[in-house]
Amino acid sequence: MTPRTALGAVGLAALLCSWAHAADPMPGALEASIARGARLYENWAAESTAREQIYPNPAFTPKPGQARLEPADTWRCVSCHGWDYKGANGFTGIRDQVNGKVADVVELLKKKPHALGELLHESDLVDLAAFVTRGQVDVAPLLDAVKRLRPGVKSWENVFATTCANCHGQDGAQRRGIAALGDTARKQPAKVLHVVLNGHAGGNMPALRAFGEGLAVGMLAYTQTLPTPNLAASIANGGRLYEDWIGATGGRQAVPHPSYPPTAYYAAAPAVTWRCKECHGPDYKGNQGQYATGNHATGIKGIRGMAGAEPEKITAILRSRSHLYGSVLKYRDLEDLANFVSRGQIDMDTFIDPKTRLARGDAKRGEAYYQTMCAGCHGREGRFVAKRFLGNRARQEPWESLHAMFNGHPDENMPALRELDPKVVSDILAYVQGLQERR
């Protein structure tokens, strides 16, 4: 294997010898090694050529009540030692290794409980040890500096706009693969400092370590002022993903979802088995609701119990082995779906009689809204755009219709009516249910 080290042709033995103490004959090379080591600390599987682990780290034993991590995440240094390097998930930090010997840390990484000697190349271990011994920053005083800098944070706007915005957008929310920068900077400031200084594991974000900690502090202070993505828009998009994320994202699935019962009706239709709605129901009640019987019955419970739960916990469930959505959806999509599950569900029984399937709204009032707001696309009689006659669909599948009215359709430009008066939406559904197809 060709060594992957930030120091190029420098021999590892000579490198270890020269770094055994604080000597640094090659500052630029050392800075590059430290930055790469920090990315390995974040996620060595993404940064190196090593294969991601599919089994949990035997040394990782989360405490009761803590969120369970995916197996691969239990192998990440940051999962145990934290973004502030002071420990996380019940583990101790690495601050005591500052100014230690690189060679000693390399040997420590090879032994249990780390056992990375068989997983990472020697050069990876050296870079990681260089970060641990020479690259850690004391986060606490930097965060204090951020607070002091905040009143004059506008002065950092141009630096962000030229250095960062091309990838992240002027509002910090352009990339679907990561959380919006403003949210992360406010919730996880230590993480942002780490990434600004060292770049992202496996990514192409530049490491700004050579410019000093002051730049990282300024960037953190400015990004903390960036707006949060609109919550209503996030919830509505999550509702569309819930209905059919494949249609919403243009994705594709050729094999059935492993959690979908192989004896259930749609087991031979892979794309259908990956839809949230197909397992948890259009009324969100799963095996306790409209999908308790019939072709859509899977025996899987609904998501009503998750209403009001922390979106972060829901995201962890979506990424878990039971769902596997972390491998098919971008981070922002997972956030939107979690926001919908937590904050976007409606009590369908409030709008629809579960026995008669009839909307509880006033059809006469709904006519004016439908004819001015909906008829432009669907036609005055509900015959345009819809894959089948709108009135029939609303009578046969009123829950799907109501869900679409609140959130829009996954693959069409239908507006989401979530922020309108819910009574108006119910009235429109009642009117649509009365539309009759011409013979």
DSSP code per residue over 300-357: -B-SGGGTTS-HHHHHHHHHSTTT-GGGTS-HHHHHHHHHHHHHT---HHHHB-TTT-
What pLDDT, on a 0 to 100 scale, did the predictor assign at position 139? 93
CA distance 118 to 424: 63
Residues 26-51 have pLDDT tens digits of 467 889 999 999 999 999 999 999 99
Res. 23: pLDDT tops 70: no
Res. 6: pLDDT tops 80: no
How far are the Cα atoms of 131, 198, 434 from residue 201, in angstroms, in the given order? 14, 9, 56
Residue with tokens 């403003």: 182
Rounded to an integer, the average pLDDT of 399-405 is: 96
What pLDDT, on a 0 to 100 scale, did the predictor assign at position 25? 39
What pLDDT, on a 0 to 100 scale, did the predictor assign at position 65? 65
What pLDDT, on a 0 to 100 scale, did the predictor assign at position 411? 80
CA distance 180 to 171: 8
Res. 130: pLDDT tops 90: yes
What pLDDT, on a 0 to 100 scale, did the predictor assign at position 229? 87
What pLDDT, on a 0 to 100 scale, did the predictor assign at position 385? 67
What pLDDT, on a 0 to 100 scale, did the predictor assign at position 439? 60
Res. 293: pLDDT tops 90: yes
What pLDDT, on a 0 to 100 scale, did the predictor assign at position 387? 64
- Specify the domain boundaries for CATH 1.10.760.10 within the chain: 363-433
* More confident of the two residues 411 and 37: 37
CA distance 293 to 206: 54
Please report, rounded to a whole number, the percentage of residues in the chain having pLDDT higher than 70: 92
Res. 19: pLDDT tops 70: no
Res. 2: pLDDT tops 90: no
What pLDDT, on a 0 to 100 scale, did the predictor assign at position 345? 98
Give the CATH number of domain 139-223; options: 1.10.760, 1.10.3470, 2.30.42, 1.10.1760. Answer: 1.10.760
DSSP code, position 177: T
CA distance 41 to 177: 20
Res. 64: pLDDT tops 80: no
Res. 332: pLDDT tops 80: yes
What pLDDT, on a 0 to 100 scale, did the predictor assign at position 428? 97
30-69 as b/e, with b when 16 or more CB fall inside 10 Å?
A: bbbbbbbbbbbbbbbbbbbebeebeebbeebeeeeeeeeb
Please report, rounded to a whole number, the percentage of residues in the chain having pLDDT higher than 90: 79
* More confident of the two residues 189 and 16: 189
Res. 158: pLDDT tops 60: yes
Res. 22: pLDDT tops 70: no
Which pLDDT band, with edges at 50, 70 and 90, does 11 fall under? very low
What pLDDT, on a 0 to 100 scale, did the predictor assign at position 1? 33
Which pLDDT band, with edges at 50, 70 and 90, does 62 fall under? confident
What pLDDT, on a 0 to 100 scale, did the predictor assign at position 3? 37
Which pLDDT band, with edges at 50, 70 and 90, does 67 fall under? low
Per CATH, which fold does 363-433 belong to?
Cytochrome Bc1 Complex; Chain D, domain 2 (1.10.760)
What pLDDT, on a 0 to 100 scale, did the predictor assign at position 68? 77
What pLDDT, on a 0 to 100 scale, did the predictor assign at position 148? 87
Res. 305: pLDDT tops 50: yes
Please tell me the number of Cα atoms within 13 Å of 240 on its side-chain side. Answer: 24
Res. 93: pLDDT tops 70: yes
Please tell me the number of Cα atoms within 13 Å of 427 on its side-chain side. Answer: 15
Range picked from 65-79, 135-149, 282-296 for highest mean pLDDT: 282-296
Rounded to an integer, the average pLDDT of 212-233 is: 92
Rounded to an integer, the average pLDDT of 265-273 is: 97
SS3 state of residue 70: coil
What pLDDT, on a 0 to 100 scale, did the predictor assign at position 8? 42
CA distance 426 to 159: 49
Rounded to an integer, the average pLDDT of 94-113 is: 96
Q: What is the mean pLDDT of the chain?
A: 90
CA distance 205 to 71: 26
Res. 7: pLDDT tops 60: no
Give pTM, 2 decimals.
0.80
